[in-house]
A and B are shown apart, each in its own frame.
Chain A
Amino acid sequence: MKFLHHTFSDLYARQDNWLTRIDVRIKMLYVTLLLSLNVWTKNATVPLFFLFVSFLLLFTIKIPFTAIIRNMSLPIVFAMLIFLVKSLHEGKQVWLSISILGYNLAFRGEGIWSGLHVCSKILGGVSLLMLFSFTTTIGRLCTGLTWFRIPNTVIELLAFMYRYSFLLLDEASTMWTAQKSRLGHVSWKKTIHSLGILGGLLVIRAFDRAERTHDAMCARGYEGGGILTIPLPPWGKKEYISCIGMVLIIPILVYIGNMRLC
């Protein structure tokens, strides 16, 4: 479970750099529009452009390559699977044929192109998401969501779940280690039983902590309203320029994305 602490923290987002300083509303607008464009596009040019630009921007703020690859590993597996399924199942024109264990692997032209297209969309979309998550803290995200009029209940729950996931992860890790040291995972059957106990303890602790947390919140003046978020300043020159940039970039990307290149 320890790997989650490396990938699942907003460690990089808390750094001070030119991307983290960009207004969260602008980042949210960009990500929403570009992700929609990424799934709508009819060729691989636009998603690959997103991938290239995202990587470039992540390198400018010195995000380690290993952190990027760690986040990308699962989507890459999915992309490979989709590519294989599409290239072996779609289309008629056989481009390459290999025989393995009596099976004839026939890679078809249409399938290869279609598979590459979906792969590019996966990589482009995930890189955009990574660019956003590596440069935005959960606090900023909550502030942005409040500005976009997302209901308080959702924002409060999001903040609670994020905050206490780390705490409970730590507790679960400690209990996991304790169980292991007492041979709680010596056999598969015992592992399942130990996991049940661990899950049960987590629920009990969460329940107890909820009461204490509520008392502590009341002591600090919580009356059932939304969580406290930093008030966002009104839009300045930079934000308006970013919006104008978006208005100029989107039609170009729409035009390129609409071209039938293959």
Chain B
Amino acid sequence: MTRKIPVFFLVFLLFFATARTAEAMHITEGILPFQWFVTWFAVSAPFVGIGMYQVKRKKRTIPSYLPMVGLLGAAVFVFSCFPIPVIALSGMATSHPCGTGMSAVLLGPFVSVLVAAIALLIQALFLAHGGLTTLGGNVFSMGILGSFSGYFAFKMAQRCRLPLFWCGFLAGMISDIFTYLGTSLELGLLVINGGGSFVKATTEIFAAFMMTSQGILCLVEGAVVGFVMVFIYKRRPGILLNLGVIKNEAKSMGT
């Protein structure tokens, strides 16, 4: 009897056999067919446009806003290059965080989408991670889903009066999960043309991500973002106040 090997087994095998650094959240150039390349660009464009409008509007009232967004974007970009050892693979592999949860909390979701789009463009051109035709798809998963889910998770946690660490933790973790969910969804949609089951393919790919280094990475990124927030709050609470992350220092949450 022929038993089909599940997709997640193949992904697992490849993670072990090839890359020490798992960087699976970007869809590589050439994978998306023409119709999906156009569709994802169309879906992502309005969000990037709103982000651009917000930056432009704020730049008029606060002239130093643009350098600040650029530098914070660069900081988040560097943060996303941190090699995090993956405990599930006994340190055999390292992975890197998305960083969109943190940028959404610091800059707001729309500006974070714009920053993610630019970071993805830089990565596609100068690191060969991702691609230009897959830029729309990657912006959707990492920029839009990652930023909005992280932002709302943070705000919800704040409303529930959770300590700042847990607010950051939830933002980092949930944005990561949604990023991988988005990537799985985009890859799952590809099987529709071949007559395959979209739900099955998406579930298998998402399970593959979560069962390898990326599942643990979500928790780790959450913890790192939590520590980042607490560290900034302890050292320079004014930054969080200026960026509107916390409302009032006197009323702010415990760490």
Contacts and interface: CB of A to CB of B under 8 A. Distances in A.
Interface residues of B, number: 80
B66 A10 contact: no
Contact of A169 (B3, B78, B85, B226): B78
A242 interface: no
A232 interface: no
Given A71-B128, A75-B28, A196-B228, A210 B10 contact: no
B255 to A, nearest CB: 12
B114 A123 contact: no
Contacts of A214: 63-64, 67-68
Contact of B67 (A10, A188, A210): A210
A39, A72, A80, A191: which has the most chain B beta carbons within 10 Å?
Answer: A39
Contact of B34 (A36, A193, A201): A36
B31 A126 contact: no
Interface stretch (B69-77, B143-151, B154-162, B173-181): B69-77
Contacts of A71: 127-128
A248 interface: no
Contact of B118 (A10, A88, A157): A157
Contact of A195 (B52, B127, B196, B227): B227
Nearest to A68: B128
A39 B28 contact: no
A157 B73 contact: yes
A64 B129 CA distance: 19
A105 B3 CA distance: 8
A125 B232 contact: no
B250 interface: no
Interface string B212-233: 0000000010011111111110
B92 interface: no
B82 A195 contact: yes
B131 A165 contact: no
A54 to B, nearest CB: 12
Contact of A74 (B59, B115, B128, B132): B128
Contacts of B52: 151, 153-154
B150 to A, nearest CB: 14
Given A199-B79, A203-B106, A130 B128 contact: yes
B19 interface: yes
B32 A196 contact: no
B201 to A, nearest CB: 9
A126 B28 contact: yes
Contact of B71 (A8, A32, A78, A213): A213
Nearest to A70: B128
Contacts of A123: 30
Interface string A157-171: 111111111011100
Given A133-B125, A157-B66, A104 B73 contact: no
A192 B127 contact: no
A126 to B, nearest CB: 5
A75 B67 contact: no
B129 A129 contact: no
B31, B59, B67, B223: which has the most chain A beta carbons within 10 Å?
Answer: B67
Nearest to B73: A161
A158 B118 contact: yes
A38 interface: yes
Nearest to A128: B29
Interface in A194-252: 195-207, 209-211, 213-214, 217-218, 224
Contact of A121 (B4, B11, B30, B72): B30
21 contacts: A78-B31, A79-B28, A82-B31, A97-B2, A103-B3, A104-B1, A122-B31, A125-B29, A129-B132, A157-B66, A157-B69, A159-B70, A161-B70, A161-B118, A165-B122, A188-B85, A195-B227, A199-B79, A204-B232, A214-B67, A217-B67
Interface of A: 1, 4, 7-10, 31-32, 35-36, 38-40, 47, 71-75, 77-82, 84-85, 88-90, 97, 102-106, 114, 118, 121-126, 129-130, 132-133, 141, 151, 153-154, 156-165, 167-169, 172, 188, 191-193, 195-207, 209-211, 213-214, 217-218, 224
Interface of B: 1-5, 7, 10-11, 14, 18-19, 23, 28-34, 37, 52, 55-56, 59-60, 63-64, 66-75, 77-79, 81-85, 87, 91, 102, 106, 114-115, 118-119, 121-122, 124-129, 131-133, 194, 196, 220, 223-232, 235-236, 239
Given A161-B118, A164-B74, A203-B72, 18 more contacts: A31-B132, A32-B132, A35-B29, A36-B133, A77-B18, A82-B31, A84-B14, A118-B31, A122-B30, A153-B59, A156-B70, A160-B69, A196-B225, A199-B227, A200-B232, A207-B71, A213-B71, A224-B66
